[in-house]
Structure 1
Amino acid sequence: MGSSTSTELISAVQVPVTILSMLEPEGLLWPKQAELKNNSAYDYIVVGGGSAGCVVSSRLAESGKDTVFMAEAGDDPPIISLLPGLFSLFPGSIYDYQYKSTEDTYAAKGQNNYTKLQAGKMLGGSDSLNHLLHTRGTPSDFDTWAEISKDSSWKYDNILQYFIKSERLVDEPTLKKYGKYHGTSGPMGISRQPRDSQVANLLKAFAEVGNPSVLDLNANITLGYTQPQFMIADKKRQTPAYSYLKNVKNNSNLFVSKNTRVTRIIFDDNKAVAIEAVYKGETYIFRANKEIIVSAGVYNTPQILQLSGIGPKEHLEKFDINVINDLPVGDNFVDQVSVTLVYKLESHIPFLPNLADVDLDPTAVPFPVLAGSVALNKSATNPDYQTYNLLLGQNTPLLPVACAVVFDLRDEICDKWQKEIINRDALYTVAALLQPKSRGTVRLASADPFKDPVITTGYFTNNEDLETMVKIIKDFTTVGNTEYFKKIGAELAGLDLDVCADKTKGSDEFWKCYILNHAGSPYHAVGSCPMGEVVDGNLKVKGVEGLRVVDASVMPKIPHGAPNAAVIMLAEKAADMIKSANAN
């Protein structure tokens, strides 16, 4: 099966998925649509029902005392989004904003010069369509947040309680060894899917080149290869739309309005007092008695703030937007740029699929996964890169699905890999640069709130990132010299590139060429409204009252891992801060 065929097949399946979602009884899994009345008032208004918005809304509503209104631009997730094995159905669907970067002929060649930027457009946001990995980052990440925000409450020792509070870890070996770092009674179920026999040789190979096998990268160990934790429990995806909202969805004090686009925040002098929103073509005003919390995500939060007059003065004035406060909203955008490598592994009976490495159970991730956190300097304690390694069975369609559908690389790239791995298992590796120095921006396209924001990734604009990525590839590919890889004749696929033909294969210049033709996003963007610059340590927007931001956009530095676990932690902490500030 070619990549274009895989993409077409996924697109065809998305149609009945959408139709089926329309037939789901309202209120069965998700909160019912609120009855809207113009000029109605609530104690708290939460803008955005994504990962953070669901957590904050749930925690603010759980006492039953304060009224909470949450506006989400998307709809309910389809019920089958709870099936972990079907995650590849939702990128590029109506449940994805389908954002793309500005044209980038330098770093986005592998994606036809426009980087795909996945973002969930439904309750639960990107946690309703992401790849389910649960990685926290390292303790030093949060100590750095505390330094930048000048607020010691963000230190790791102080925020660990919120990771624990959020979790319901279902994995006896991890709890036995690292129980003090994990929760067992929180809303969000976490589990592992160990497939020891299938990955034993790979783990041994990575250990041979200095990367030890570890049980838990979310405890006090920051380096090594592991069979990772997933946001899966009870055979369901643990999106906060389900794991958090199910506990409060029938509360009379929680009002959730879906398919509701917030167009601006309304200020009275310097205080945020209301939002303007559009639902089914009608414009409404909703007023906040206490606070407005913006949790629209790393792309949409800066857009809403800028539309409301909070952002770079010169940019806002281009669109005749009244400037409430001149802040660097959208300036610190950062994403962990990644590059993909494919190893040809063992061969089996020719022309037959190797189903031993495929899990056909839709309630499980369909293939074995290894996550590796690796430091280039072997005496360092923090990783420079993280790899997400998918073991794909021989002659199965999983590689083109991962390549073309999930990560949106060009069909020619994916088809080349698929042809080269015929009759071989494959190791599909996404290697992410964890602490890039390059920065991008999020800007308005116009004063029209229904126009997509203008997103510039900035990948490799700081040349040091490209140099580091070369070191990452050279470090990772040392696994090719291990006993197991040599024994099975493993080799990298897809290295005969016309565009890099003038470079010596394996040289730094060759790898630079390879990277720039295979780079993409692992969908780990943060920082477009960071602490210290746009918000303070309490996540209050600087220079105004009654307004906070609670989502990945406030992270002043990207974690050493996928940021979704840190988003949940951040939202748990924010909810406590908000309740404490409004206790009297």
Structure 2
Amino acid sequence: MSMDTFDFIVVGGGSAGCALAARLSERSDYKVALIEAGKKKGGLKVDMPGLISKIVPPNPMNWNYWTEPQKNLNNRKLYWPRGKVMGGSSSINGMIYIRGHARDYDEWAQLGCTGWSYDDVLPYFKKSEGNTRGDSEYHGASGPLKVTERTSTHELNDAFLKAGDEIGLPFTYDFNGETQEGVGWYDQTIRDGRRQSTAFTYLSEALNRPNLTVLAETMARKVLFDGKTVTGLEVEQKGQIKTLNVNNEIILSGGAINSPQLLQLSGIGDPDDITSVGIDMVHSLKGVGKNMQDHLDVLVSAHLKDPISLLRYQAPHRGLMEMAKWFLKKPGILSDVVLPTGAFIKTDPALERPDIQFHILLGMADAPHGFEDSHEHGMGIHICQLRPHSRGTISLHSSDPLESAKIDPNYLESPEDIRVLSEGVKVARRMFAAPALQAYISHEKSPWNDMDIDDDEALHARIREASETIYHPVGTCSMGPTDNQNSVLDPELKVIGVKGLRVADASVMPRLIGGNTNAPTIMVAEKCADMIKAAY
């Protein structure tokens, strides 16, 4: 067997890809390759949680994507950071460990995704997780992904939680436990002050296995077929194009943008999307690149009376002190998640699940995504609508694999989305007005301080001019019943109509879950690995 022939090729070394390759390589009789377009190591900026503001803005460890102009957001193009380094977006994300609501997965099963109910997926969440909470009905303690409970000691966290109580929100001890609704502390994918990406956790444990080949800085160009049977993968490495042959399967784990793009580049998808850029059709699947869903987010900020925000740590002497703490593995601001507390709320008490999520920011954000450093002491509450009705698309600009895909999230196409988001903003502003936070706040940041809390017209205008992604795109290779023309994958994550090709990443989700998407994406990889092992 050639050195360039493998039993399984995993395309994309991100949250799912690293976990999947590691699990498959546990079988010594499988010869596994993991392909990643980015570098193998991210360095200190990735490892140190407090440096997240250095890796979310445009940089070489990021794909630095931009959307098409959004007609419902004043024709703005939105920046979409995605990880381009081993570990993918788990190497640049906010490190919050959230699974979503149990009902989210039961809904998947009701949509025809047999085997994906909450009872079906909970064992895979627990298998992946090494949580300081210990083994329990809801948690695992020995999995590769190390998860830690609250570490931040900043006083604004307690003020936020108390403000929630003052406006009638319950306290939730564990957002991933029995009840999601309420205010509480986020679990975090940080251990001993270090980011727990899937590259650092899953993959580092597998690298010494002789049956695993990891190819970094290697760009996948297209999947190769004999008829409708997969034979290999065309890649570009150091300017040279080569072919990797496969005996069994290729699994795409490039994420909600890159996986549908690679399918389309390979001739699989809606014929209108593929032939229009001069690519020959291999197999028609109209759902490829459709069904995109993402969490749109708006930030409400306020000025503080005293200089207690994260800005105070930018003073040279304090910065050096915190850096020393991190290297000595002592608790400090550089070891903490930057969004320590939050909430899941219902804008209507009759709802069965929360439809809004809050993340508290212990500083003032003068520009989205960390594009600019703040120079004022403040705090913020991120508000995102959890279950958008709007649907977007991924399609090709051209047949060039090196050209970014056309990203059109179609934000706020549904009027219901802006209504729900507006109601969430009103709750956040009521929290700012609660006594616990008023003890710290001098006034809301412009334009909020000039806006009546019930002025829907002004609120809608502000949402259209200032909302941004909170980095949770899913659904563009969604699984479902094989007789549904919108399904791309069957419930075993196999691409419908071809042989030897699966997808395992956030793109497989038929509906966006109610929370951050990193942990659910890793769960998908764990379940996919077991399905593949059972099949071979």
TM-score, normalization: structure 1? 0.83
In 1, distance between residues paired with 2:534 and 2:499? 16
Structure 1 equivalent of residue 52 of structure 2: 87
In the alignment, does 2:419 pair up with 1:467?
yes
The answer to whether the Cα contact below 8 Å between 1:338 and 1:431 also exists between their aligned partners in 2 is yes
CA separation in 1, counterparts of 2:308 and 2:2? 66
Q: Which residue of 2 aligns with 1:455?
A: 407
Within 5 Å, give how 1:435-446 maps onto structure 2.
435-446=387-398
CA separation of 1:552/1:251 partners in 2, compared to 1, >3 Å: closer, same or farther?
A: same
Distance apart, 1:286 and its partner CA: 1.0
Cα distance change of structure 1 residues 70 and 368 upon mapping to structure 2, 3 Å threshold = closer
2:31 alignment partner in structure 1 = 67
CA RMSD of aligned residues (A): 2.5
Deviations along 1:181-211, whole A, 9 cap, x unmatched? 1111110100023445612222111111122
Q: Which runs of 5+ in 1 are unaligned?
A: 1-36, 393-397
- The answer to whether 1:142 aligns with 2:105 is yes
Quote the Cα distance in structure 2 between the aligned partners of 1:182 and 1:305.
Answer: 35
Alignment of 1:201-350 (within 5 A): 201-327=159-285, 328-347=287-306
**In structure 2, distance between residues paired with 1:346 and 1:234:** 33
Structure 2 equivalent of residue 58 of structure 1 = 22
Q: Decide which of 494, 498, 515 is 1:544's aligned counterpart.
A: 498
CA contact (8 A) 2:346 2:353 kept: yes
Count of residues in correspondence between the two structures:
513
Look up the equivalent residue of 2:161 and give its one-letter code: L
Preserved CA contact (<8 Å) 2:7 2:32: yes
1:159 to 97, 114, 121: 121
Percent sequence identity is 32
> SS at the partner of 2:160?
helix
Give the direction of change, closer, same or farther, for the CA distance of 1:367–1:521 in structure 2 (3 Å limit): closer
The 3-state SS of whatever aligns with 1:181 is coil
Give the structure 2 partner of residue 509 of structure 1: 457
Q: 2:78 maps to what in 1?
A: 115
1:115 and 1:197 mapped to 2: Cα distance?
Answer: 31
Cα distance in structure 1, aligned partners of 2:74 and 2:214: 38
Determine if the alignment matches structure 1 residue 102 to structure 2 residue 59.
Answer: no
| CA drift at 1:484 | 2.3
Amino acid at match of 1:492: E
Q: Determine whether 1:182 maps to 2:139.
A: yes
The answer to whether the 8 A contact 1:385-1:433 is kept is: yes
Distance 1:504 1:141, change over 3 A: closer
Check if 1:49 corresponds to 2:8: no
Classify 1:107/1:259 alpha carbon distance in 2 versus 1 (closer, same or farther; 3 Å): same
> C-alpha displacement at 1:513, in angstroms?
0.8
CA distance in 2, matches of 1:450, 1:576: 33
Equivalent position of 2:446 in the other structure: 494
- C-alpha separation in 1, matches of 2:499 and 2:403: 28
Cα offset, 1:86, TM superposition: 1.4
Q: Which amino acid aligns with 2:357?
A: Q
TM-score, length of structure 2 as denominator length = 0.90
- Say which SS state the counterpart of residue 388 (structure 1) adopts: strand
Query: How far did 1:570 drift?
Result: 0.7
2:347 pairs with 356, 361, 376, which one? 376
The structure-2 alpha-carbon separation of the partners of 1:575 and 1:333, relative to structure 1 and needing over 3 Å to count, comes to same
Q: Which runs of 5+ in 2 are unaligned?
A: 327-333, 481-486
Structure 2 vs 1, CA of residues 368 and 122 (structure 1 numbering), >3 Å: closer, same or farther?
A: closer
Residues 223, 381 of structure 1: 8 Å contact kept = no
Of 509, 512, 518, the match for 2:466 = 518
Kindly tell me: are residues 332 and 432 of structure 1, through their superposed partners in 2, closer, same or farther at Cα, counting changes over 3 Å? Answer: same
Relative to structure 1, is the Cα distance of residues 78 and 379 closer, same or farther in structure 2, using a 3 angstrom cutoff? same
